[in-house]
Structure 1
């Protein structure tokens, strides 16, 4: 089943399982974030991606500049171990990882969650690529994908066992919008998909033609 089909089924099952007030609050939050235009202000294809150096789940510093010396870089912003939609997304990217790497690219996820939670995400989703720790969402903010949850959304997250102060180890109550980028070796963004609706994700196969194009010699 395609990734979006899995996410649609998950959303239906989730809405049926939780109290109506919880479902309504989550839908309200999504509608408000879309209406704010936040996703339209995020970095787009053609923009220059900010350079970043972040720790992986074991504390090793990973530099985007160093990765780009080897080939294009695929970056996905990950909300956290508590988000089943994000975990489906990571699993789909893992399934596509060999195809991504065969086209000369590296793949990383970026999350505000603590290192132990990133290690948990990697184990549970069987990941062969790193989740980098973006404490406080500073890199997410540079890409324009960070947003702050309103008070009613914070209460809903706590009700669902997703208290971000515990998962992220700080109390900003910020998250990245689901976002996926391809950064070319010159630092330009070749592909950008940002969605204020956390239940909508592009298929990983959408990356393949972009990476193929980046492999072709550019004619002056």
Structure 2
């Protein structure tokens, strides 16, 4: 779903969720609004070194892909398909940054498995997920359900209380402003890479008009 909402709130029954907070379920998240400034949050690299989203973006336009983890087949397929547009978006000046709650050691497994050519970053404490308004708590019931599937979220994230993102794609321009947002509470639904590329091209054209 494309997000262009008039408020920084999402009302679902009696539940009000603000960007910057964790939701109780995927259906209750509310991504930050278009026009928002790029949140400044700490992350970790593949080597476990501290970094920030600001440093990783480096003042360039960027495509930010939030995925659930290397254990998720839908995520791995999405990450793999992004390689099809990588050359085109990089020619436009974009960086692709893929962010998940996986700890750095798990990121290495994903990178080696899929031979990705772009940057993977760890957000296991869920700082970025909170800042972008796409994180939700994994309760005991859901945690046990994943364990039944052979997925140990505590081990993957290194956190006693894991947080997952609603899979999302954000595009920021070279001025650090959010220009595109796609999120879907059904983790099986992912935006096609071709649509991401089309959005990136449109944003680049608009930026050339506004900042010749």
What band does the TM-score fall into relative to the shorter chain?
Answer: 0.7 to 0.9
| Alignment correspondent of 1:208 | 197
Q: Could you tell me whether the CA contact under 8 Å between 1:75 and 1:110 is conserved in 2?
A: yes
Aligned pairs for 1:64-143 (under 5 A) are 64-69=53-58, 71-143=60-132
Matching of residue 51 in structure 1 with residue 40 in structure 2: yes
Aligned pairs for 1:161-172 (under 5 A) are 161-172=150-161
CA deviations over 1:139-164 (Å, ceiling 9, x no partner): 11110011012322111101111111
**Higher-strand-fraction structure:** 2
| Alignment correspondent of 1:218 | 209
CA deviations over 1:23-52 (Å, ceiling 9, x no partner): xxxxxxxxx945x432xx211322222023
Distance in 2 (CA, whole Å) between partners of 1:209 and 1:137 is 29
Q: What is the root-mean-square deviation in Å for CA atoms of aligned residues? A: 2.0
**Higher-helix-fraction structure:** 1
Structure 1 unaligned regions, length at least 5: 1-31
Q: Secondary structure at the match of 1:42?
A: coil
| Alignment correspondent of 1:186 | 175
| Alignment correspondent of 2:28 | 37
Q: CA deviation at 1:64?
A: 3.4
Kindly tell me the number of residue pairs found equivalent between the two proteins: 186
Distance in 1 (CA, whole Å) between partners of 2:126 and 2:52 is 16
How does the TM-score come out when normalised to structure 1? 0.77
Distance in 1 (CA, whole Å) between partners of 2:41 and 2:194 is 26
Structure 2 unaligned regions, length at least 5: 1-23
How does the TM-score come out when normalised to structure 2? 0.80
Distance in 2 (CA, whole Å) between partners of 1:88 and 1:139 is 22
Distance in 2 (CA, whole Å) between partners of 1:77 and 1:163 is 19
Distance in 1 (CA, whole Å) between partners of 2:68 and 2:94 is 23
